[in-house]
Amino acid sequence: MGGPLHGVRVIELAGIGALPFASLKLADMGAEVTRVDRCADVPTDPQPQPHNFWDRGRRSIAADLKKPGGVETVLRLAQTADVFLESFRPGVVERLGVGPDEVLGRNPRIVYGRLTGWGQTGPLARVAGHSLNYEALTGVLRAIGPRGGPPVPLLNVLGDFAGGGLQLAYGVVCALLEAKNSGRGQVIDAAMTEGVMSLAAPFYAMHESGMHGDALGENLFDGGAPFYNVYETKDGKYVSVAPIEEHFWELFLAKVGLDPAALPARHDRDHWSEVREKLAAIFLGRTRDEWCTALEGTDACFAPVLTFSEARQHPHHRARGTFVDGGDMPEMIPTPRLSRTPGDPGTSPGWPGADTDAVLRERGFGVEEIAALRSEGAIA
C-alpha cells in the first residue's frame, strides 16, 4: 500500500524554505505533489539532478503565471487536485489570477494553503521578513541565550520549518479530513509567527504563572537549572544532562560522584549557580567519549552533544535506519513511522520543468494543446 496520503493530489507554487518543507511532509506520506516552477528557472541545458531532500517526492512543471495560458494551465490542474499551496506575500497570487477565489471557483472541494511569515492580515502582513524576525516577534527568541548575553539565533528550525512548513502540513491534513465529510474546501492562513507561538504555548503559561522569568539563562529549561544543562568536557566538546525527576537526579549524582546530601536542595534557585559550577568542574575532568562510556545508556538522562556528521553515524540512529543510505545528500526517512502505511522518500524531479509534458498529458491536455502553450511561452 502507499502512504496514508496516497491518492491526494497537491499543486505547489514553487517557494523557498518553509513551503517546500510542508509539501515534502505531504509527499513523504504518499501525496502526489506537482510543483509549478517558473519558466525562467528551467535550465538551458537540462541535466539530471541528484536526489535532493528538498525536492524529493514530487514532479515539476514550468509555467509562466504572467501569461494567460500559464494561469489557465495551473487552474486546470487545480480542477483535479485536492490541495493548492502558495507562499507569496498577500495579494500576489490574486494579481496573478490564481488566488483562492479563482482556484476554489474551479474546484470548491480544494484545500487552499497559504503560508506567510506574518499572516494574511495585520499591519505587518505585506512586509518582508525571515524566520529570525518571526521568532523575534513571538518572544521565543528573547527567551533563549546565555546568562548575561544576547538572545541567540535558532537556525531557522522554529520559524520556517516547525512554525511554518509543519504547521501548514498539519492544517492541510485537518482540512482534508473536514472536506471528506462536508465536500467543501477552505483556505488555510498559516502564519509562521502564530506557528511559533503555538509551539511556545506552555512557556507563555509558565511565564504567566511565574515559573519562567524574563532573565536569560536563569530558568528551568533555558540553562539556568544545573540538572537541565549543557557542560563542556575535557576535549572541548559538550554533553547534555536532563535528570529533572528526583530519582533520575540521584542516579546521575551517583554516576558523576557527587553526594546529594552535600548539595543544596535541588529546586533552590538561589544555589543553582553553585551546583552548576560543581558539575562544570566535574565534566571538565573527562573527555566526551569517556562520559559517554560512564553515562550513555543509563537513566541519568544523558546524551552527547553531536555535530550533524556525528549524528548520522550514531549507533542509535543507524540501528533505527533513520537516515537514507546511498544517496547523494544526507536525508532522513519519512517520519513519523507508520506501521501499516509508512511513508516513502520518493524521487526528485530531474530539473525544474522536467515533468511538464507528462503531467499535462495525464491531466487531459492534448499534444497539440501542449505545443501551443509552449509556443506562446506559457509553459517550458
Catalytic site residues? 130, 160
In the chain, the amino acid numbered 125 is A
Alpha helices in the chain (DSSP H): 18-28, 68-79, 92-96, 100-106, 131-137, 167-182, 192-199, 201-209, 246-256, 272-283, 288-295, 308-313, 315-320, 356-362, 367-375
In the chain, the amino acid numbered 200 is A
DSSP 162: I
Tell me the CA distances in angstroms from 341 to 29, 178, 273, 337, 369, one per residue in order: 8, 21, 49, 9, 38
Q: In what order do the strands lie in the sheet with 9-13?
A: 58-62, 32-37, 9-13, 83-86, 111-116, 186-191
Whole-number Å distance between alpha carbons of 212 and 74: 49
Whole-number Å distance between alpha carbons of 278 and 290: 18
Strands 323-324 and 229-232: unpaired
Within a 10 A sphere around the Cβ of 127, how many other Cβ atoms?
A: 11
Whole-number Å distance between alpha carbons of 157 and 161: 5
Within a 10 A sphere around the Cβ of 332, how many other Cβ atoms?
A: 13
Whole-number Å distance between alpha carbons of 15 and 111: 18
Greatest alpha-carbon span in the chain:
85
Angle at 173 between CA 160 and CA 324, to 5 degrees: 60
| Residues 60, 357 contacting (CB under 8 angstroms) | no
Tell me the CA distances in angstroms from 227 to 187, 214, 223, 252, one per residue in order: 45, 20, 9, 9
